[in-house]
Amino acid sequence: MNRNILKSSLGTDSHPLTAHDNYWSRSVRESLAHQDWSQADLREQIDLPAWQGFLDDLPRDPYVNQRWKRMSWLALTPTGDVTNLGECPMAQGGAFNDAESMADKLRYYAPLTEEFLSRPDVKAFVRGWAGLWNLGAGEPILMQITGVRGKGQVDPLQGQGIHADGCKALSIMVVNRENVTGAENHLYRDKAGQHPIAHTTLAPGEVLHLRDDRVFHSVDGIRQLDETRPFERFIIIINSRFVDEFQNRILRRHFPHAILHTEG
């Protein structure tokens, strides 16, 4: 999006938009508030088979073999519409991604398709997600579809260890998993893993919400169940309010009028 258009669409009102507070049940909100994580099932709110239809045209991840990926930077306007901010690379500092090929580097990915982003249930999901975290207009939201598929091989970055993603608001939703076992999520109070909180394996349509600045997480590697058939596992990752200084510097460079919460 053109920078002048961005400034015009955001205006000066950055107060939280609460029109979609009823997207999540009270128990989801209470769990997130009291224990810094929660889990929900979205199969009644989204057309999951339709979302799965967008997996076929995902391009290969240029940085990770056997992975496919799209991502876009989104935001809410003051009226609660979902807007696409335009291109900005993913940038994770070494404190949040210690992989030699990715730490402190800019990574560029193909955007989410307009056909996907224009779906009413996708827009409702983004608005509802922003409401869950009390995000205001103009706060950059990173939404990714990413995953693995193949036959006889498994993504080498699966099971990447206990980590945080460098933000305050993070959610992970499984879109599809076929012919695989594993991928159990583990939550901890500390990066060393001495204080476990919970363990859960997400089914397609289930989403895990995390206060990423308070809870560390890891996911087990996946294994192909039937080696004669292809496997795949795809997820949506959506996050905002970055505490990663590297990512915030890049966001400010690309979206100078966006609202960044870098303190507090």
| Tens of pLDDT, residues 180-199 | 999 999 999 999 999 999 99
CA distance readout (Å), 202 to 45, 61, 83, 182, 183: 17, 23, 29, 10, 8
Half-sphere exposure of 92 (CA within 13 A, CB side): 18
Residue 187 is predicted with a pLDDT of 98
Q: Is the dihedral of CA 127, 133, 137, 138 positive or negative?
A: negative
Q: Please report which helix (H) or strand (E) contains residue 28, including its range.
A: helix 26-35
pTM of structure: 0.89
The 3-class secondary structure across 216-230, one letter per residue, is: EEEECCEEECCCCCC
Domains, the chain, ordered by start? 3-7+20-254 (2.60.120.620)
Predicted confidence pLDDT, tens digits, the chain (264 residues): 434 334 444 443 344 444 456 899 999 999 999 999 999 999 999 999 999 999 999 999 998 888 999 999 999 999 999 999 999 999 876 454 544 555 557 999 999 999 999 999 999 999 999 999 999 999 999 999 999 998 877 755 555 689 989 999 999 999 999 999 999 999 999 999 999 999 999 999 999 999 999 999 999 989 899 989 999 999 999 999 999 999 999 999 999 999 997 654
**DSSP β-bridge partners for residue 199:** 186
Helix, strand, coil percent content, the chain, rounded in steps of 5: 20, 35, 45
Q: Count Cβ neighbours within 10 Å for each residue of 129-141 and write b for 16 or more, e otherwise.
A: bbbbbebbbbbbb
Where do runs of H (alpha helix) occur along 111-234? 114-117, 120-132
Distance CA 199, CA 214 (A): 16
Residue 91 is predicted with a pLDDT of 87
Distance CA 4, CA 29 (A): 36
Residue 10 is predicted with a pLDDT of 43
Residue 215 is predicted with a pLDDT of 96
Distance CA 130, CA 114 (A): 20
